[in-house]
Amino acid sequence: MDTILTVNQLSVFHQNAEHYLLEDIHFSLYRGQVLALVGASGSGKSLLAQSILQLLPDNLRQNGDVLYSDRQVNEHDRGRNIVLIPQSVEALDPLMKVGKQIEGLIQAENPHQVMLDLLAQLGLNADIATRYPFQLSGGQARRVLATIALGSPANVVIADEPTPGLDEEAKYEMIALLKEVQQAGKAILLITHDFDVALQLADQVAVLDQGEIIEVTDVHHFSGDGEKLVHPLTKALWQSLPQNLFIKYAEKT
């Protein structure tokens, strides 16, 4: 398999608090693969995305390797080779119309038409392109962020919680579009707390707990009572879902 992104012995140290927020993170991402990163709030999922993109504040020190096609990632890879669908809708430029923000990242003969096609795929009307971000609902803004990211030429897409705030129809459209991105040969790191979304999209699932990846496993291992899962915390997470035993996660950890 063609490895496109490698994270090796990655740690993030908080210099003021003097403790590690992420420690000894390892995983590889292949072309056409979706790796879902799941875990409780505060486990370090979004921090890991910031580390990959070299976006950490000065009080955090990063060690280890983040490689894109066997070379160290740098700031020039952002938007060009690795693109982020951010969790916060505040990432949109408030002074620029939506259409211009999307077209600015599209490399095609007719970026305007590509932009309209992407909007349609996410269930957005063409007139969205003429609006400013403040004129969008929260769900519309989240879908626009996805459109901007997916219109870029990047081979790696980091989707940081792409579905919260979306109704069921919009969530279905987002999942369908991410599947198309995967089928086009791009790799996706899907950061989510929505386990159902992870199971619909991912080839593998990485479970993050208190800054450490405790298990990386095939998505098909999340079945039955979780007998193919290795770590007790992963089994507890699986069994706590409504469609399973409804065992409270806190009781198992």
Q: Provide mean pLDDT across the span 42-68.
A: 93
Residue 241 phi, psi dihedral angles, 5° rounding: -70, 150
Going by pLDDT thresholds of 50, 70 and 90, the confidence category of residue 218 is: very high
CA distance 192 to 244: 19
pLDDT in tens, 155-195: 999 999 888 877 888 788 888 888 888 888 899 999 998 88
CA distance 221 to 186: 24
* Fold classification of 3-95+153-222 (topology level): Rossmann fold (3.40.50)
Sequential DSSP letters for 34-78: EEEEE--TTSSHHHHHHHHTT---TTEEEEEEEEETTEE--GGGB
Q: Is the pLDDT of residue 245 over 70?
A: no
pLDDT confidence of residue 68: 95
Domain boundaries for CATH 3.40.50.300 within the chain: 3-95+153-222
Cβ atoms of 56 and 50 closer than 8 Å? yes
